[in-house]
Amino acid sequence: MEILAFGVQADEKPLIEQAFRRHHEVRCLDVFLNEDTAPIAAGYEIISTSVNAELGPRVLEVLAAGGTRMIAQRSTGFNNIDLKVAERLGMTVARVSYYSPYSVAEFAWTLAMAVNRRIVRASTRTRDFDFRLDGLMGRDLRGRTVGVLGTGKIGEAFTRIAHGFGMRLLGWDVAENPACLELGMKYVPKDQLLAESDLITLHVPLMPETRHLIDAAALRAMRDDAILVNSSRGGLIDTAALVTELRAGRFSGVGLDVYEAEAGLFFHDKSLEAVEDDTLARLVTFPNVLVTSHQAYYTEDAVGQIVDATVRNVLDYRAGRRSENVLVPRS
């Protein structure tokens, strides 16, 4: 049996081919799954998709009509999949429930430090042999307060690094993490965390309850010189509201690895095209904002774990087994 994998990055392709070779043939495509590309899957019982695949009702119906019965998504998030429609169509859906939390946590810290110490601006200057320090002053983080929204595996990994920096730890989540408590974290209401934190980082999943968790009111509750980092899901932040606050001169720095309208943009080369997204175009013009293209997970360790878990999901489907990765079981 041959598996069809959509949205495969160049660095990812050899890992996928090697992992699947022992069990099944795999055909890797660099195009992402959407309504235009869904017909390519005709005749493939099993497909694998990336986090930016569009798996709404119309795409799922096209896949089902073409014979697809199993979707193995290579990500933890699954807000791009209409699970109810998939279940109605008799399709099995699985994701990767776990991979290296350090990949994302370390990258979130990379964003925080880059905007705090003005690394991008400094690098751009020195390339032009401009070695002035004007406008490059940052702050020590030792002794300052970090607010971690979401203290699961990634939030815990971020907290351990913050503890190493010697920061005061505030947390917010539906359940307290004992490991974070042992590090000295104090769980507080969200408004208190926003008001008291010098650095705020987001590590919660995107669900209807968390969409625009950081809205206009939340942004106004933050300190004017706060640093905001999001390496989780773009929809957690109301980007239009964020732009409004940035235009008012607020925030010491903002690091974003995700963007709420990233589908169709991230993972693509748009450098020779006119920018149609006015909000994103405005966002990247602020000197205190750093935007990266959803790469926090992109380490050899994490991608290797994601690929291995995807292979196991396919093998489980073929054997009629069910694991914690299954979102919609085999009917």
List the catalytic residues. Answer: 233, 262, 294
- Alpha carbons 236 and 256: distance in angstroms, whole number: 11
CB proximity list for 330: less than 8 A, separation 6 or greater: 70, 92, 317, 320, 322
Cβ burial of 131 (10 Å; 0-12, 13-18, 19+) is exposed
Could you identify the residue written with the tokens 């964020």? 242
Nearest to 279 by CA among 320, 325, 242: 242
DSSP H helices in 232-272: 239-247
- 32 membership: H or E segment, kind and range: none
Helix, strand, or coil here: 34? coil
8 A C-beta contact, residue 294 and residue 268: no
142 secondary structure, DSSP code: T
Nearest to 298 by CA among 239, 231, 234, 230: 231
- Return the structure tokens found at 8: 């495969």
8 A C-beta contact, residue 240 and residue 266: no
CB proximity list for 299: less than 8 A, separation 6 or greater: 100, 103
Could you identify the residue written with the tokens 């880059």? 114
